[in-house]
Chain A
């Protein structure tokens, strides 16, 4: 009799537990089935010219290498703090800051800063993963990087490959918009680093040259952004860049002359405004 009671009790307990558990998870099944039909709506065809520009947009390594050659210093504070990673929740934010961290990573890589490379690589890999491009930062890559902290060329090659893979993957999978964001973020960050260094360098003629060399890239970027003019978010990003373009227009490049301190800080502030706009 006792065992029967026990069994009964056990059965009741199990049933109760199962019921509660099932109830909880029943609600959460629904999203998958609907999603497939939505897929088609979000495809936005990108114009082939823009696509080409996008694909050929230079990696931040070019600038980084030039900066290093100009013997400007490595100032980690300039880079975007790695702690902010958690703040980037939407797809757009993740993509923008993938670009930003990518630029920072290039900067650290050309200076062979292993510690910073590590930290920044963590960020870029997480963001890449979140954006659905898992697999790009694989074990092999990490190993290669770890073994070549001192080998600038190797690092540059490795990361360039990564960025290219990222872009080609996105392009193949109709996620060009993501690509656009990445590129935007990377450009703005690069400009930020260069213009900030420009302000503090004693002899900033080389850095100024680098800055002025970026004008065509800025143009390309603006044209890409303009092709998405219907998108509110992108419009917001384009605004400060247009203002920056204005600076270039007003201050033509003078050969072998560095920017004055006031001009340099004006420039930097414009870029900073663009950088801030990335977050919102």
Chain B
């Protein structure tokens, strides 16, 4: 009863009372006081009575016996009613009207009907109010009939619900709710126009509405959540009444059957023992059992997440396993865990969920669906609040649970499973949640709920109860209240039918467990730890007594339709991307840190390494460029991994649900990848911009950016893989050094590849472990690119390369060949190491052959001299002379190349001036870097091994020897077959191939599967008893 209504009533009462003879006023006041006491506490009551007195004296200023005064009163009333009319809703107006009628009747009863004039007067009152409040004739009659003479009035059977004993209601055609022990009957009228339920109790028992005593012959209004209680009967819920009123025939009919279902876990005793049962739409089924009995397992089996090992489950005859996809559309599952996205608002959570369920709905329709769902769970008020984490609460625990339920309800499932929906909630919130679920059954759904320790009220809500004992033994299925009787009889209790308290109606669900888990008493009279009846015993009893009655008859019927429609993979991808973006944006700290981290690191790196001997700073003389390049790669790897490490693990539970809904993991992964790549692109761009600017690196923006970007993307995918494969966040961070340390060590910078452990290193090319490292590819390409393609070097490079090749041949190779020839001849003479010498000679011949081809000599000019048989002192000298002439030719070649190089320089000097050229060199060509890539720090220039002579001099000028893409470190190009590919592009391709492989691994979830494989090996299994 709201304040406006009460005030209106007091006004009316005052008016009417004042119009009557004064001598009645005391009685009237008493009546009013009694009436108001129902709704107000003592303080409020005083206030209202004061108001009444004032109004009464105000209105009784005239003499009421006068006819003019009466008409005045009537006018006042008319005005007043019109006035109220604007302030009250129709529903409230009717309530006022009802109360008014009752009031008048009460007065008539106590104070006598009064004169005929009075009677006419009253009729006038009613007429005024009726017309002013715009109450239809039908309703008027209904109300009057209901309030004064319900059983003989002309109320439609459909609109009247009667609650009473079976006997009393036998002949009534109205809708009924049976409460055997009730004395008399409760009548409930449904006023369709305003959707109002009005009740009256005709009987002598004490009846309470929401804890308040109902005055006899007083009507009461039933709102949502109302509970009628009496000591002798089961509570009557609002939903029961609504259920009674509503015609359920046109709703959906669903039959859920489980035949002989059984399951057991690998290497464990736990599981579900075979049994059968069935349930129908409109039923609320509860699953109870001690912890570890197997409730969650059972629920997983029933909703199709876990596969049965025996038996089958069918909905309307359609097998769950065979028609999984079809049935998934109508099954809903609310797990115990929170599935909410903490960064988004309540509305947004529902929004994304709805979009993933109903592709093709217009935004308007989506919003409507969402608002409906919010209304159902009573969360409309907080829909724009961010959900927040359980630790950092924005919305309460009860609200979170209701939101989780709403997420499922949006899908309009016909079968709804909920795993312990009341865990962690206060008793009031629990009741609210359960009522919500009960309401779903009224809409024709089948709801199955796992529940652990229901309160008495909740316990009584269930239509059917399934009880599991430890080990997955079903021990009861049927009416909840009857369960207590069943167990009591089975245990030979006295008074087994005594299931609920006679006076207060309280049922003790704990009794069930007290009985089933009763412990034996030792001979000393102490309670032991052994159960007197084991689960198997109850199970056998179940099979004997209950199971035979439960054999379901499976009929194949069409499945109900709903509008559930998963969007296409592409659409899912865009929805996931949008959601991801929104989630990230809400966390401002995250965005700020991520965007600022890269330029900040670049600033530190570049600023600290900005050193040159000359001041002001000259790029060419900076000795730290290698360090900068290396650190950039490391930074790219670090950043890439850090942003992606937690990505998937955070969404674990949501992923589980999305898998249940058959949403595409592929689209989800792609959305993550897209976001991370975009972030990497931005971060590396900032990094390169700041770093290159500070260090004065010119013209390398794009190359540096694309290499670092690719490196970062590679690291992103590593992070995603780890995130997807591991179960806890801590484990991820433990893995990170495993990944990064080898990358740093084997990048070729910290430890040169040549000086790695001999079992790993190769003389001619980078060892395999090096080739597996992204850092190696990235660093090499950056260093080579910086050296080779800067503005100064680029035009000279080809000349320098040839000069270097010639220099090597002239200065190292040919002298080395010469020495080798001498050595071989010496060995042959002394007959030392004949096999090796033979081998060496072959290698020498090959090498000479290559040189001859290159310089244009006729091949094999001295091959005849270089055999085991022919090599002697004479032929040795001849060979040396030949080699000298070879050397000479190369020297000439060197000279000519140098001349052309000089010419190029002259041209350049003409345009820029010599100083200009020098300045250009200083700006672009870094001497320290040159030392690195020209291997100047290592004095080894040539090595003779099994495969012959290996060049070590000037790696960056040396084309690789192998044609399969493998090459030495700092190779300027890589050769595959007949193609020569610039290092930058080749390395980029290598990085992207590795990234692609990681992507496939992610898709296939390789890491997780590998871990699971190892965990399942008997070696790692913990011993189970």
Q: A31-B799, A132-B803, A132-B810 are in contact. Are A89 and B905 (CB under 8 A)?
A: yes
Residue from A31, A32, A173 in contact with B891 in the complex, judged by beta carbons closer than 8 Å: A173
Are the C-beta atoms of B985 and A18 separated by less than 8 Å? yes
Is residue A52 contacting chain B, with contact meaning CB distance below 8 A?
A: no
- Inter-chain contacts of B988 with A (CB < 8 A): 17
Convert A11-51 into 0s and 1s, putting 1 for each residue whose CB lies closer than 8 angstroms to a CB of B.
00110011011101110110110011011111100000000
The residue in chain A whose Cβ has the minimal distance to the Cβ of B902 is: A90
Instruction: Name the interface residues of A100-148: CB closer than 8 Å to any CB of B.
Output: 129-130, 132-136, 138-139, 142
Is residue A202 contacting chain B, with contact meaning CB distance below 8 A?
A: no
What interface size band does chain B fall in?
Answer: 35 or more
Are the C-beta atoms of A132 and B918 separated by less than 8 Å? no
Residue from A24, A83, A132, A135 in contact with B982 in the complex, judged by beta carbons closer than 8 Å: A24
Is residue A245 contacting chain B, with contact meaning CB distance below 8 A?
A: no
Nearest CB in chain B: distance from A1 CB, A:
11
Q: A42-B899, A43-B892, A135-B812 are in contact. Are A25 and B905 (CB under 8 A)?
A: no
Q: A22-B980, A31-B798 are in contact. Are A172 and B1000 (CB under 8 A)?
A: no
Are the C-beta atoms of B939 and A10 separated by less than 8 Å? no
The residue in chain A whose Cβ has the minimal distance to the Cβ of B984 is: A21
The majority secondary structure among interface residues of chain B is helix
Is residue A175 contacting chain B, with contact meaning CB distance below 8 A?
A: yes
Most buried by A among B620, B799, B985: B985
Taken together as a complex, chains A and B put the C-alpha atoms of A234 and B471 apart, in Å, by: 104
- Inter-chain contacts of A203 with B (CB < 8 A): none
Most buried by B among A21, A25, A86: A21
Residue from A10, A25, A136, A280 in contact with B973 in the complex, judged by beta carbons closer than 8 Å: A25
Are the C-beta atoms of B892 and A39 separated by less than 8 Å? yes
Taken together as a complex, chains A and B put the C-alpha atoms of A26 and B798 apart, in Å, by: 12
Q: A17-B988, A39-B889, A86-B927 are in contact. Are A135 and B811 (CB under 8 A)?
A: yes
Taken together as a complex, chains A and B put the C-alpha atoms of A31 and B903 apart, in Å, by: 14
Is residue A92 contacting chain B, with contact meaning CB distance below 8 A?
A: yes
The residue in chain B whose Cβ has the minimal distance to the Cβ of A33 is: B856
Taken together as a complex, chains A and B put the C-alpha atoms of A173 and B996 apart, in Å, by: 54
Nearest CB in chain B: distance from A30 CB, A:
8
Is residue B917 contacting chain A, with contact meaning CB distance below 8 A?
A: yes
The residue in chain B whose Cβ has the minimal distance to the Cβ of A89 is: B905
Q: A17-B989, A132-B806 are in contact. Are A10 and B996 (CB under 8 A)?
A: yes
Q: A38-B896, A86-B921, A136-B811 are in contact. Are A92 and B887 (CB under 8 A)?
A: no
Taken together as a complex, chains A and B put the C-alpha atoms of A87 and B917 apart, in Å, by: 9
Nearest CB in chain B: distance from A90 CB, A:
4
Residue from B856, B888, B899, B939 in contact with A142 in the complex, judged by beta carbons closer than 8 Å: B939
Is residue A2 contacting chain B, with contact meaning CB distance below 8 A?
A: yes
Taken together as a complex, chains A and B put the C-alpha atoms of A13 and B992 apart, in Å, by: 9
Nearest CB in chain B: distance from A278 CB, A:
13
Are the C-beta atoms of A83 and B614 separated by less than 8 Å? yes
Is residue A91 contacting chain B, with contact meaning CB distance below 8 A?
A: yes
Taken together as a complex, chains A and B put the C-alpha atoms of A55 and B980 apart, in Å, by: 45
Instruction: Name the interface residues of B202-238: CB closer than 8 Å to any CB of A.
Output: none
Most buried by B among A20, A42, A90, A132: A132
Are the C-beta atoms of B855 and A36 separated by less than 8 Å? yes
Taken together as a complex, chains A and B put the C-alpha atoms of A175 and B803 apart, in Å, by: 15
Residue from A28, A38, A41 in contact with B798 in the complex, judged by beta carbons closer than 8 Å: A28
- Inter-chain contacts of B993 with A (CB < 8 A): 10, 14
The residue in chain A whose Cβ has the minimal distance to the Cβ of B789 is: A24
Are the C-beta atoms of A132 and B898 separated by less than 8 Å? yes
Most buried by B among A134, A173, A280: A134
Is residue B941 contacting chain A, with contact meaning CB distance below 8 A?
A: yes
- Inter-chain contacts of B594 with A (CB < 8 A): none
Taken together as a complex, chains A and B put the C-alpha atoms of A138 and B812 apart, in Å, by: 10
Is residue B922 contacting chain A, with contact meaning CB distance below 8 A?
A: yes
Convert B970-991 into 0s and 1s, putting 1 for each residue whose CB lies closer than 8 angstroms to a CB of A.
0001000001111011101100
Is residue B808 contacting chain A, with contact meaning CB distance below 8 A?
A: yes
Taken together as a complex, chains A and B put the C-alpha atoms of A211 and B973 apart, in Å, by: 54
Are the C-beta atoms of A172 and B888 separated by less than 8 Å? yes
Taken together as a complex, chains A and B put the C-alpha atoms of A139 and B808 apart, in Å, by: 15
Are the C-beta atoms of B891 and A86 separated by less than 8 Å? no
Nearest CB in chain A: distance from B895 CB, A:
6
Are the C-beta atoms of B811 and A133 separated by less than 8 Å? yes
Nearest CB in chain B: distance from A49 CB, A:
22
Is residue B613 contacting chain A, with contact meaning CB distance below 8 A?
A: yes
Are the C-beta atoms of B953 and A134 separated by less than 8 Å? yes
- Inter-chain contacts of B58 with A (CB < 8 A): none
Q: A86-B620, A129-B807 are in contact. Are A21 and B905 (CB under 8 A)?
A: no
Residue from A21, A36, A42 in contact with B856 in the complex, judged by beta carbons closer than 8 Å: A36
The residue in chain A whose Cβ has the minimal distance to the Cβ of B854 is: A32
Are the C-beta atoms of B905 and A135 separated by less than 8 Å? no
Taken together as a complex, chains A and B put the C-alpha atoms of A89 and B905 apart, in Å, by: 8
Is residue A6 contacting chain B, with contact meaning CB distance below 8 A?
A: yes
What interface size band does chain A fall in?
Answer: 35 or more
Are the C-beta atoms of A42 and B892 separated by less than 8 Å? yes
Residue from A22, A130, A136, A280 in contact with B803 in the complex, judged by beta carbons closer than 8 Å: A130
Most buried by A among B811, B897, B992: B811
Are the C-beta atoms of B989 and A18 separated by less than 8 Å? yes
Q: A132-B807, A134-B812 are in contact. Are A42 and B613 (CB under 8 A)?
A: no
Taken together as a complex, chains A and B put the C-alpha atoms of A17 and B984 apart, in Å, by: 10
Convert B838-880 into 0s and 1s, putting 1 for each residue whose CB lies closer than 8 angstroms to a CB of A.
0000000000000000011000000000000000000000000
Taken together as a complex, chains A and B put the C-alpha atoms of A28 and B888 apart, in Å, by: 25
- Inter-chain contacts of B898 with A (CB < 8 A): 91, 132
Taken together as a complex, chains A and B put the C-alpha atoms of A135 and B953 apart, in Å, by: 11
- Inter-chain contacts of B899 with A (CB < 8 A): 42, 91
Taken together as a complex, chains A and B put the C-alpha atoms of A17 and B995 apart, in Å, by: 15
- Inter-chain contacts of B888 with A (CB < 8 A): 172-174
The residue in chain B whose Cβ has the minimal distance to the Cβ of A39 is: B892
Is residue B666 contacting chain A, with contact meaning CB distance below 8 A?
A: yes
- Inter-chain contacts of B802 with A (CB < 8 A): 31-32, 35
Is residue B274 contacting chain A, with contact meaning CB distance below 8 A?
A: no
Taken together as a complex, chains A and B put the C-alpha atoms of A17 and B855 apart, in Å, by: 33
The residue in chain B whose Cβ has the minimal distance to the Cβ of A280 is: B914
Most buried by B among A26, A29, A129: A129
The residue in chain A whose Cβ has the minimal distance to the Cβ of B939 is: A139
- Inter-chain contacts of A280 with B (CB < 8 A): 914
Taken together as a complex, chains A and B put the C-alpha atoms of A21 and B982 apart, in Å, by: 5
- Inter-chain contacts of A174 with B (CB < 8 A): 888, 891-892, 895
Are the C-beta atoms of B896 and A175 separated by less than 8 Å? no
Is residue B145 contacting chain A, with contact meaning CB distance below 8 A?
A: no
Are the C-beta atoms of B891 and A89 separated by less than 8 Å? no
The residue in chain B whose Cβ has the minimal distance to the Cβ of A32 is: B802
Convert B894-913 into 0s and 1s, putting 1 for each residue whose CB lies closer than 8 angstroms to a CB of A.
11111111100110000000
- Inter-chain contacts of A10 with B (CB < 8 A): 993, 996
Nearest CB in chain A: distance from B668 CB, A:
14
The residue in chain A whose Cβ has the minimal distance to the Cβ of B664 is: A2
Is residue B893 contacting chain A, with contact meaning CB distance below 8 A?
A: yes
Residue from A14, A17, A86, A90 in contact with B905 in the complex, judged by beta carbons closer than 8 Å: A90
- Inter-chain contacts of A83 with B (CB < 8 A): 613-614, 621
Taken together as a complex, chains A and B put the C-alpha atoms of A2 and B667 apart, in Å, by: 11
Is residue B244 contacting chain A, with contact meaning CB distance below 8 A?
A: no
Enumerate 23 A-B pairs (CB-CB under 8 Å) in ascending A order: A6-B996, A21-B984, A25-B973, A25-B981, A31-B802, A31-B900, A35-B893, A39-B895, A42-B896, A42-B899, A83-B621, A89-B917, A90-B905, A91-B899, A129-B807, A132-B807, A133-B811, A135-B812, A139-B939, A173-B810, A173-B887, A174-B892, A175-B891
Closest 5 CB pairs of A and B: A134-B811, A135-B811, A21-B985, A173-B891, A21-B981
Q: Which residues of B contact A (CB under 8 A)?
A: 613-614, 620-621, 666, 797-799, 802-803, 806-808, 810-812, 815, 855-856, 884, 887-889, 891-902, 905-906, 914, 917-918, 921-922, 925, 927, 939-941, 953, 973, 979-982, 984-986, 988-989, 992-993, 996, 999-1000
Given A133-B810, A135-B810: 12 more A-B contacts, CB < 8 Å: A17-B988, A17-B989, A21-B982, A21-B985, A21-B986, A42-B896, A129-B811, A132-B810, A134-B812, A173-B887, A174-B891, A174-B892
